[in-house]
Amino acid sequence: MTSDLVTHDLVIPDLVYPDLLYMNSQTAYLGLGSNLGDRASYLLQAVQGLLDHRLPVRALSPLYETDPVGYLDQPSFLNMVLAIDGNGWDPWRLLAVCQAIESSLGRRRSIPQGPRTIDLDLLFFGQQVIAESREGVDLVLPHPRLAVRPFVLIPLCDLAPAFLHPVLGKTVAQLLAAVSPQTPSPPTVRRYDPGAGQVRPGCQEPLFHQQN
């Protein structure tokens, strides 16, 4: 079994209070996931890659461990969400950076919803609504499946609970409340503890249970 070791020292410059992030019309939110190898290290390498591209990362959510969805014969994921100050950027340019980072970290797309070293999904870019294809690359904003994914909504709610979905007209907190354990087949989502799997004080674990 491969253990997850945090092997990178990461400094996020000019960190702002997460609950104020949604007020910035140019804030972009990215969902990150990994379920191969040293998952935590891949997540931190992806964050470092964004910083290396001079993207102003403003806040990181906690890490969450999630059962796989769709293709079930694969390891559990580590998931997180981060916030970026998108001033001076546009969604297509940010998407290109994300895809370059995925490629540099060995991302392969041989199995739909299959295992991956790293996944970077653009969730929101301010209040922009986009559904376009350029040179064979599709971009849909907001992310079309985030409203039914607790492993996205839970860390996103850590950063921006009052952020308003520009299409659905609901806040992130309201979307999360609507994804209940009674929803068909929600994945199990729990706060990640790299130690012995102990529950951290004050945390509810698991937050969602897979229905059998």
Query: Which one of 85, 90, 121, 193 is the catalytic residue?
Result: 121
Residue 104, classed as helix, strand or coil, is helix
Cα 71 vs. chain centroid, distance in angstroms?
19
Of 39, 58, 107, 149, which is the active-site residue?
107
Q: Whole-angstrom Cα distance, residue 187 to residue 184?
A: 9
Instruction: Determine the Cα–Cα distance for residues 187 and 211; give it in Å rounded to an integer.
Output: 8
Query: Which DSSP symbol is given to 70?
Result: S
> Of these residues, 39, 58, 116, 191, which one is catalytic?
116
**Distance of alpha carbon 208 from alpha carbon 151, whole angstroms:** 9
Question: Which among 119, 149, 158, 191 is annotated as catalytic?
Answer: 119
Q: Is 77 helix (H, G, I), strand (E, B) or coil?
A: strand
In the Cβ-directed half-sphere of 188, how many Cα atoms lie within 13 Å?
A: 13
Q: Where are the beta strands (DSSP E) in 2-127?
A: 27-34, 57-60, 64-66, 77-85, 119-125
CB 12 within 8 A of CB 56: no
Active site residue 121: yes
Supply the residues annotated as catalytic.
Answer: 107, 116, 119, 121
